[in-house]
Amino acid sequence: MDVAGKVAVVTGSGNGIGEAIAKRLAAEGASVVVTDIERDNVTRVANEIGTVGLEADVTKEDEVKAVARLARETYGRIDIWHSNAGLAGPRQPDSLQDDDLWNGMWRLHVLAHLYAAREVLPEMVARGDGYLLQTASSVALATQPEKVGYAVTKHAALAFSEWLAVRYRPRGVKVSCFCPGPMLTRMLLSNGFAADDPAISGALTPEQVADLVVRALADERFLILTQPDDVRALVGKGTDYDAWVDDYSRLLSTSSVGAAGAADAQESRPSSTA
């Protein structure tokens, strides 16, 4: 899809990757609606782009509807919805019993994507055109042993994107799942890694990631990766699942970062990708 002249909503666009993607889309000629749970950042980014924005919690369906309403009232339609907001959170070694954590992760990483799809798919299907871009994580291709809630719900986000693509691509709706690895965002940097740590040295800037994402939209590619080698996790599973499980079990005992290389880099606040 050529984004010039399109109307895009980017959730979690008050900072980090979401902000960079919103700005890149605007620079390419798209009209962008900014939304985030951080009101001051919504105002700042919207002013910098020269557009509208709305403070919103995308885990609440009525607030997703409010963002869509603002987009339609301002620009007449919605061509692209980027469900980008997410939360990595702290390590979760004993979280099987933490219902609050599970509910929060489920609502943010899965239901927020569902609410967006419910809201915009009818108009996209009716005109035979539109784009759903959903942020998951490289963790969705592998796992993250110390963050069970994050790992499981990111797998679910990828599965939902797959289903949407199979169901709606034949009806003109493009679907992509963005599965980034480590990125130089406030969440990654807040972990206090040394300057020579692989999580830092191998990470991309938000601007680099935004360039990559917009190029992928032009190609209408389903799976968008920041580190192409991340797909090896899928190959490893398919080749020898038991060996893959053993490898990740060893990773848990030796790595300070976790599977898929610093998944803490992905998402920060409930509606703000770091």
pLDDT, tens digit (0-9, with 9 covering 90-100), for 102-121:
999 999 999 999 999 999 99
Question: Mean pLDDT, to the nearest integer, of 165-191?
Answer: 82
Mean pLDDT value across residues 159-188 = 88
- Cα separation, 145 vs 151, in Å, equals 8
- Cβ–Cβ < 8 Å for 131, 173: yes
Q: pLDDT digits over 222-240, tens only?
A: 999 998 888 888 898 999 9
Q: How confident is the model at residue 272 (pLDDT cuts 50, 70, 90)?
A: very low
Domain 7-265, CATH homologous superfamily name and number: NAD(P)-binding Rossmann-like Domain (3.40.50.720)
Q: Is the pLDDT of residue 274 over 60?
A: no
259 burial class (0-12, 13-18, 19+ CB within 10 angstroms)? buried
- 81, β-bridge pairs: 9, 132
- Confidence check: pLDDT of 259 > 60: no
CA atoms within 13 A on the CB side of 229: 4
pLDDT recorded at residue 254? 64
pLDDT at 94 over 90: no
Task: Write the pLDDT tens digit of every residue in 23-64.
Answer: 999 999 999 999 999 999 999 999 999 999 999 999 999 999
Please give the Cα distance from 90 to 174 (Å, whole number): 33
Q: pTM for this one?
A: 0.88
